[in-house]
Structure 1
């Protein structure tokens, strides 16, 4: 195994991701700090709105520490035809996105599904094989802290209500 402190450690990580995504819808692309793993999210053509969505797993590698961080970037473009013409909206979200979609062809013969967690598992599996550790992005840490604070406030409110109504 290549020592994680060598320049080849990034290349080894990337090569394993390329091998793991061969013959899949995932498209790996090298970047300076690591790599992007991109996939088109299948959408149902059965709606009036046309939605195009691309999910990118942005991976930043820190070979000296044998650590990596992963951020999801989801780009969505919606087209909707109506009486006023065609409206287009574009959104980009960044952070940790976990979701599942299902779609099928117009004749109902082909079904497609997508789970953003599958890309996370793929990248984490390669990292585990190489002995790398994941660093949570700041946005994920902030969201977790906000969630814990909200849970603590809700628990305190429930306890206060129980004290008031039971005694």
Structure 2
């Protein structure tokens, strides 16, 4: 079997994800360094559309990949107003809705993450955290340490 992208297993990973998304609302598109998996998020309020893209960048030499979420929201408000937002990073959220005929739908961003990770794991690919997520973790840890220090200092002051 030949690798359509010509690099160690990237075509196999794409094919595995493609097979896993068959018959679902997910759409795949190859990019220069990997692929995008996109889905229209159901359950939005009237006039709001949300599209979630899982951007997967492959590093075939190391058999590693990074995954970045890109969430585009378009809100068509009253009186012709409109706003668009784009969020990048790691998005974790869940939505629920009910159609007029009573059918319930839900969406969990974690389902797409899981689908890609399972396909990659079957082919011995490892996920690396994107730089933006690593930086966020560092700042979160620093903020937590400062908050903890502040609480301890306030506790000492009030106990004395």
Deviation at 1:7, TM superposition (A): 1.5
Whole-angstrom distance in 2 between the partners of 1:123 and 1:30: 14
* Alignment-derived partner of residue 40 in structure 1: 40
* Alignment-derived partner of residue 57 in structure 2: 60
| Contact residue 69 and residue 135 of structure 1 kept, 8 A | yes
* Alignment-derived partner of residue 149 in structure 2: 156
* Structure 1 outlier segments of 4+, above 2 Å: none
Query: In the alignment, does 2:71 pair up with 1:78?
Result: no
The correspondence for 2:107, drawn from 114, 124, 131, is 114
- Equivalent pairs counted in the alignment come to 158
Query: In the alignment, does 2:12 pair up with 1:19?
Result: no
TM-score, structure 1 normalization = 0.89
| Contact residue 103 and residue 112 of structure 1 kept, 8 A | yes
Computed over aligned residues only, the root mean square deviation of the Cα atoms, in angstroms, reads 1.8
Gaps of 5+ in 1: none
TM-score, structure 2 normalization = 0.93
SS for the counterpart of 2:9 is: helix
Gaps of 5+ in 2: none
| Contact residue 50 and residue 71 of structure 2 kept, 8 A | yes
The correspondence for 2:86, drawn from 83, 89, 92, is 92
Deviation at 1:15, TM superposition (A): 0.1
Deviation at 1:165, TM superposition (A): 1.6
* Alignment-derived partner of residue 122 in structure 2: 129
